[in-house]
Amino acid sequence: MAMNTEYAAREPGRTEVDALAGATLLEFGSPGCGHCRAAQPLLASAIAAHPGVHHLKIADGSGRPLGRSFRVKLWPTLVFLRDGHEIARLVRPDDARSVADALAKIDVPA
């Protein structure tokens, strides 16, 4: 699956996220966040090598339950899941290598 460039129209619930099968990257951020915009080329580069990873781009903010359930404090926060379980997390990544390394941890053959 390709990288999502738009924030999801509907925020999934935590139960829905916990039930996801396979490799999933949750990207928490905000359209107006400069750190989020700066991370996009890094994400695009790393995700291109992992087409099997499902990417959910979630607009976060005050009162947004999914971000609170993952204890998101800063944007962007990347949560790497395998079968609904958190395997790795990056906050404000500044290099594609760290993103690629985290993706490699979740993108394993089924």
Residue 10 has pLDDT above 80, yes or no: yes
Answer for the pair 27, 58: CB distance below 8 angstroms, yes or no: yes
Rounded to an integer, the average pLDDT of 74-96 is 97
Rounded to an integer, the average pLDDT of 67-92 is 97
Say if residue 76 is preceded by a cis peptide, omega within 30 of 0: yes
Query: Domains of the chain by range and CATH?
Result: 14-106 (3.40.30.10)
Query: What is the rounded distance in angstroms from the CA atom of residue 9 to the CA atom of residue 57?
Result: 10
Query: What's the whole-model pTM score?
Result: 0.95
pLDDT at position 108 is 76
Rounded to an integer, the average pLDDT of 88-99 is 96
pLDDT at position 110 is 54
